Chains A and B, each alone.
Chain A
Amino acid sequence: MEASMSDKSSTSRSPLSQKGHTIQKQEDLNTIGGSISVEINEKKVSVPFGTTILEACKINQIHVPTLCHHEDLCVAGVCRVCVVEVEGIRTLQAACAFPITSPIKIKTSTPTVRKARKNIIDLLLSEHYGECYSCIRNQNCELQKLAEEYGVDKYTFGHVTKPKYETDKSSLSVIRDMSKCVLCKRCVRTCIDLQEVGVLEAVHRGDQTHISTFMDKPLADVICINCGQCINRCPTAALHANDPSDEIWSAIDDPKKHVVIQTAPSPRAAIGEEFGLGAGHSMTGQLNTALKRIGFDAVFDTNFTADLTILEEGTELLLRLKSALVDKDPNVRLPQFTSCSPGWVKYIEHFYPQYLDHMSSAKSPQQMFGAIIKTFYAKQAGIDPADVVSVALMPCAAKKFECNRPEMNSSGFKDVDYGLTTREMAKMIKEAGIYLPEMPETTFDSPFGEASGAGLIFGATGGVMEAALRTVYELVTGREVPFKNLNIEPCRGFEGIKQASVKLENVREEWKFLEGVEVKFIVAHGTANAKLVMEMLKRGELNDVHFIEIMACPGGCIGGGGQPIPTSEEIRTKRAQAIYSEEERLTVRKSHENPYVKMLYEKFLTDGPCGKLSHKLLHTHYVKRGKYIA
């Protein structure tokens, strides 16, 4: 077993735009020993060469307000809220953008600085349309917080009374309300630099500047992949998700409707943040209780269909390998890509449609569950599927788009009615007067009660790969994967692109053609890294790779576009840890050992994984969308 890490982590990319080389160490100056002593507010401190003033202040517990700065993104230095005084320079300097390369003296709270910040906040408020109490970001808004911090008690420079821009509600996932935009350009840096999708940019200039799409088209008409990463980084409510909770409430309130919800692992690992807990608390049991109290008729674990996905996708991979190695079928495409991230699906449909044949045809766990609920479950429970309302609690903005794809109706109905994000769920729970952390823990409803840990780790980047390997390896060799505690470490961690392989030896008779084959796999997260992988594929560098997992969001689902705001690498790490430690406590940790999955294949999908019925219900096809914006 050999594991080689690619050096292309998402943080080491250099963006196309100027911001990339904003903080650059000059080699020749670096010899000073790597650290510099500076004075902050008359206190002498020593910081590493090239540290920004902002970081230096943070290390030394000095708070400098920011707005356009975001840890995940390159420097912008545009809001000017973080200005400080540097001795010897006439103008104030943006702390977030000023790299320390000489022993400077910094003052973070002089009268000039305070007045400047106050004026700047007042300016932003003067153009900001909206009332906090009717705003989705009330209590979790960086602009609101700044206003509070700087004691804004009136609109010094007036206040707009009419929205400047029409809200763009065209997208099923992301709503753009540019009258609340503060032009921090975080979304631009997210969409162009972090995700490399390139939907949003600033257009026009001067007072006309605003964030827009190509030719100001509605978001639904451009190549947005619905990842929602821009929402996660927007400091205000200018970007927010398309919230279906009103409709879900009416379904709950309608006695004729049987409202079912499936919950994915990532929201469970993060929803505590919405209730004031730190990152990294899994709330699965509490959430089950809360959802029942709200009025959902049944609560299921998406991990169940994650296990199903592994069996379907794993079988598909083995079939592809067989076609390639035994039948020498020239039409079979390898490597096979995972297909559970709807953002990634739309990305490849737009940007690399010529490679769609590489996509696993397996639906995502959400959609598989949708199909099962309105067929198998409805029948078992004796409910007319037409009365079933199927909700999915997801960490994801793209799931809203996914469940609305026209092909997602294999049950004869819309398989999943609503995709609900973690944030929206928290809002519903709060509306119901429930404080989630206080809830007693309960379990999921039958007949899909328990899932394996393999499904659980889907939430973090590398999870699908790890789960698939556990199953594929064991199916083929009859033995467990050769990793301590089944933890396939090369799949874990936040490197942008991870590459590793596992050798198949002493295989079972029926898989003899795989004897000695080294299964090579790649795990990538964030579409910028997906782009790198696709370019490698294009250049023919991945001909010997068999399986590639791609998640559209940085960090995988735990960093999804529907997750609590704020987000940072630290927060995502903690969420991932919560998932991994929860999974270690489980007894069943391999998808194929999930007894309920076995039951489903025995009772319902009787012709097995990738069989006829599973193809009808659990597999899908894709659309060649291309890049052209009509």
Chain B
Amino acid sequence: MLVSERTSLTEEIERLVEQYGKDRSSLLPILQAVERKYRYVPDFAMQEIALQLDIHPVEVYSVVTFYSFLHSKPRGRNIVRLCRTIICDISGKENVESAITRELGISFGETTPDKKITLEYTNCLGMCDQGPAMMVNDRVFTRLTPEKAVEILNEIK
């Protein structure tokens, strides 16, 4: 990471710490904000957050790895999460799944070479009445068909 990037990250984290408070209970909102922007929490950011909240870097790492929506390794600019829990699973998830892997040429858990999209599974999105469902970043799309899913992915920048 470049020095300038580090400085701006530090400043950003300082702002977040100010906003949420210099207390461990601010850890998740801060991590979420960093993740939202970078799609992962860079190792430098974890250390900086630890420093500012007066906790240990490994504790931050431990928290990041605990939650499915936080990541410690770089990923694509957009995160697509397909629900794999039972109702979506029996309502045609498999077809959606193969359509998008074919279309993007990557499997789940991978990122497209142009870093545009990372494909992931997720557990129940709470959209079982409208399955199959998937999340694109923080938006939820339901009643997917293979065709519709691919269309949605094509609209992503």
Contact present between A and B (CB < 8 A): yes
Contact A201 B58 (CB under 8 A): yes
Looking across the interface, which residue of chain A has its beta carbon closest to that of B51? A627
List A contacts of B46 (CB < 8 A).
214-215
Chain A, residues 592-630, CB within 8 Å of chain B (1/0): the string is 000000000000000000000000000000000001110
Name the B residues within 8 Å of A200 (CB-CB): 58
Known: A198-B58, A200-B58. A629 touches B65 (CB 8 A): no
Chain B residues within 8 Å of A197, by CB? 56
Flag if B55 contacts A214 (CB, 8 Å).
no
Interface flag for B12 (CB, 8 Å): no
User: A213 to B43, alpha carbons, bound, how many Å?
Assistant: 13
CB < 8 Å: which of B43, B55, B58, B65 contacts A205?
B65
The reply to whether the CB of A386 lies closer than 8 angstroms to some CB of chain B is no
Q: Does A89 contact B (CB under 8 A)?
A: no
Task: Indicate whether A215 sits within 8 Å of B43 (C-beta atoms), given known contacts A16-B24, A203-B65, A204-B65.
Answer: yes
List residues of chain A with CB within 8 A of the CB of B58: 198-201, 212-214, 222
Asked if B52 is at the interface (CB within 8 A of a chain A CB), the reply is: no
Q: How distant is the Cα of A16 from the Cα of B24 in the complex, in angstroms? A: 9
With a cutoff of 8 Å between Cβ atoms, the chain A residues found around residue B56 in the complex are 192, 197-199, 201, 214
Chain A residue with Cβ nearest B59: A201
* B72 in contact with A192 (CB, 8 Å): no
Summarize A's interface: helix, strand, loop or mixed: loop
A202 within 8 A of B: yes
**Alpha-carbon distance between A213 and B66 when the two chains are bound, in angstroms:** 14
In the complex, the chain A residue whose C-beta lies closest to that of B60 is: A214
* B19 beta carbon closer than 8 Å to chain A: no
Chain B interface residue count, CB cutoff 8 Å, equals: 15
CA distance A450 to B59 in the complex (A): 48
Query: How far, in angstroms, from A200 to B61 measured CA to CA in the complex?
Result: 10
Contacting pair A198 B57 (CB below 8 A): yes
Residues of B within 8 A of A222 (CB): 58
Interface status of B91 (Cβ within 8 A of chain A): no
Q: Is the CB of B62 within 8 A of A203?
A: yes
Partner of B61, one of A192, A201, A628: A201
Determine how close the nearest CB of chain B comes to the CB of A171; give it in whole angstroms: 15
> Measured between C-beta atoms, what is the minimum distance from B21 to chain A in Å?
15
**Interface presence of B47 (CB below 8 A):** yes
The listed residue (B47, B55, B59, B66) touching A204 by CB distance below 8 A is: B66
Query: In chain B between 74 and 126, which residues have their CB closer than 8 angstroms to a CB of chain A?
Result: none
Closest to A210 in B: B65
Q: Which residues of B contact A213 (CB under 8 A)?
A: 58
Write out the residue numbers on chain A whose beta carbons fall within 8 Å of the beta carbon of B59.
192, 198, 201
CB within 8 Å of B: which A210-253 residues: 212-215, 222
* In the complex, chain B residues whose CB is within 8 Å of the CB of A203: 61-62, 65-66
Q: What residue in chain A is nearest B72 (Cβ atoms)?
A: A215
Q: CA separation between A627 and B47, bound complex, in Å?
A: 9
B55 contacts across to A, CB distance below 8 A = 16, 198
User: In whole angstroms, how far apart are the Cα atoms of A617 and B53 in the complex?
Assistant: 42
Docked pose: A628 CA to B57 CA in angstroms: 9
**Across the interface, which residues of A come within 8 angstroms of B62, CB to CB?**
201-203
Which residues of chain B come closer than 8 Å to A627, judged between CB atoms? 47, 51, 57
B66 touches A214 (CB 8 A): no
CA distance A204 to B64 in the complex (A): 8
Report the minimum CB–CB distance from B109 to chain A (whole Å).
Answer: 14
Let me know if A629 and B47 touch, CB within 8 A: yes
B6 to chain A, nearest CB (A): 11
- Residues A629 and B24 in contact, CB atoms below 8 Å apart: no
Of B24, B47, B65, B66, the contact of A628 (CB 8 Å cutoff): B47
Minimum distance in angstroms from B115 CB to a CB of chain A: 21
Top-3 shortest CB links A-B: A198-B56, A201-B62, A203-B65
Please report B residues at the A interface, Cβ cutoff 8 Å: 24, 43, 46-47, 51, 55-59, 61-62, 65-66, 72
A-B contact pairs, 21 of them (CB 8 A): A192-B56, A192-B59, A198-B58, A199-B56, A199-B58, A201-B61, A201-B62, A203-B62, A204-B66, A205-B65, A212-B58, A212-B61, A213-B58, A214-B43, A214-B46, A214-B56, A214-B61, A215-B61, A628-B47, A629-B43, A629-B57
Known: A198-B57, A214-B57, A627-B47. 11 other contacts (CB 8 A): A192-B56, A198-B58, A199-B56, A201-B62, A203-B66, A204-B65, A215-B46, A222-B58, A627-B57, A628-B47, A629-B43
